[in-house]
Chain A
Amino acid sequence: MTSYDEDLLAAAGRLVARRKGQRGKLAGARIRRSLSTSYYAMFHFLVEDCCVRLLGSSADLRRRRRVLARSFTHSGIRAALDKVKGAYVDQSLEDFLRSTTAPTGRVPSPAFVQNVAKTFSDALAKRHDADYDMNKPLSEADERLVRARVKLAIAGWRSANGAADRDFKTALCMLMLLKGQLRKEN
């Protein structure tokens, strides 16, 4: 059985698939719909993965996971991911994201996390133009590259399964739910 993100990416690909022998520019609507669908593949993948990490994968908990999923927002996920998109996590999150086995000092952001963070921001910015701003052109290359990038980012996240990776992902999922904000100490 395919996952929802895989189904969305397949749908995005079908939107821009050419018939045999078809040439010329694709209709802008197909490019824009496809781009938007690829973004939603990234969004729903992260939400589903986070709900499983935070609540467990039992089938009995599906309804609870779907309730929790409604609490994730586009801007909240982006705000959290913005703080881990660089080589090191934002200093405000160091204590929260530091591994129990890591030394003191700056906390590096894992490469797969940086990739997810940049891909999410890229897809969100282009989805914004695709859905709301017809004055901003989007090319077939833009659509194709976002779709490819989303696939790679999801695959990278899925394959990062070491203990430190799992620990980082769970903490980051919590941060996405909290819209990137931790309460500051007085």
Chain B
Amino acid sequence: MRYAELSTIKESIQQAVRKSALGNRVRDISLEADHDNYGSDFLRVRLDLDSFDGLSDESMLAVITSIEDSVIELDERYPSVRFSDAA
């Protein structure tokens, strides 16, 4: 399996987010490795946003895809991107 350091993956996610419609709305990005009931490893990516105001579902789906594409190049674990409830 092709695994990268979590710090490298997080940097890649930060770059993808910076270029996205979310821009500077993201307060924090957390990343953890886990495995599911079927024994497969995956990555749990959580984005904390200041606000969802004015963000369309299309733009959020585009961010998810952008993060997935950036991580897939580095690591075989699937990055599952989640959003925290806005403050």
What chain B residues lie within 8 Å of A124 (beta carbons)?
36
- A85 CA / B71 CA spacing, docked (Å): 12
Considering only residues 10-26 of chain B, those with a C-beta below 8 Å from chain A are none
Taking a contact as CB atoms closer than 8 A, the residue among A78, A125, A139 that contacts B83 in the complex is A139
Contact between chains at A125 and B78 (CB < 8 Å): yes
Tell me if A48 counts as interface (CB < 8 A to partner B): no
Contacts of B40 in A (CB 8 A): 75, 78-79
Q: What class of interface size applies to chain A in its complex with B?
A: 20 to 34
Tell me how many residues of B have a C-beta within 8 Å of chain A.
23
Residues in chain A near residue B64, CB distance under 8 A: 122, 145, 149
Work out how many contacts link A and B, with CB atoms closer than 8 A: 63
Say yes or no: A86 contacts B78, CB within 8 Å. Answer: no
The prevalent SS among residues of A at the interface is helix
B5: chain A residues at CB < 8 Å are none
Residues of B41-87 contacting chain A, CB below 8 A: 42, 44, 52, 57, 60-61, 64-65, 68, 72, 76, 78, 80-85
Which of A8-16, A130-138, A162-170 makes up part of the contact surface? A130-138
B52 contact set on A, CB distance < 8 A? 141
Partner pick for A142 among B68, B72, B83, CB 8 A cutoff: B83
Q: Which residue of B lies closest to A138 (CB)?
A: B82
C-alpha spacing A118/B65, complex, angstroms: 8
Kindly provide the distance from the CB of B70 to the nearest chain A CB, expressed in whole angstroms.
Answer: 12
Q: How far is the CA of A46 from the CA of B75 in the complex (A)?
A: 26
B residues near A (Cβ < 8 Å) are 36-40, 42, 44, 52, 57, 60-61, 64-65, 68, 72, 76, 78, 80-85
Pairs across A and B, CB under 8 Å, 30 listed: A25-B85, A74-B38, A75-B40, A78-B38, A79-B40, A118-B65, A118-B68, A118-B78, A121-B42, A121-B80, A122-B64, A125-B36, A125-B42, A125-B78, A126-B80, A126-B82, A129-B44, A132-B37, A137-B84, A139-B83, A139-B84, A139-B85, A140-B85, A142-B83, A145-B61, A145-B64, A145-B83, A148-B57, A149-B61, A149-B64
